[in-house]
Amino acid sequence: MKTIANYGTLMEAELLKLKLSSFGIEAFIPDELTAGVAPHIFATKSGIRVQVAEKDAENARAAMQSKIDLLEDEQFTEEE
């Protein structure tokens, strides 16, 4: 496994995991349980890690740089 990002909060790590999933890249948060129970531990460490398989690391970094809309505008148009 290759660490591709570190975040200060579990929510940020989960958002990246979701984004990578939308690109077909499976991501893991090895610190997920500890961060959920004792988030203060990561305030002094290097952060909550997001990891992917070695073979997916390059694509994951590219996906991190891309901008995607998780919601399509058409879903929220006003009805006349």
Q: For residue 7, list its beta bridge partners.
A: 48
Would you call 12 exposed, middle or buried from its count of C-beta atoms within 10 A (0-12, 13-18, 19+)? Answer: middle
How confident is the model over 40-80, as pLDDT tens digits?
A: 777 656 789 999 999 999 999 999 988 765 555 555 455 54
Angle at 9 between CA 43 and CA 38, to 5 degrees: 60
pTM: 0.75
- For the segment 21-46, the average pLDDT, to the nearest whole number, is 84
**Per-residue model confidence (pLDDT) at position 22:** 92
**Per-residue model confidence (pLDDT) at position 58:** 94
Polymer length in residues for the chain: 80
- Nearest-10 Cα torsion for 40, 36, 59, 73: -110
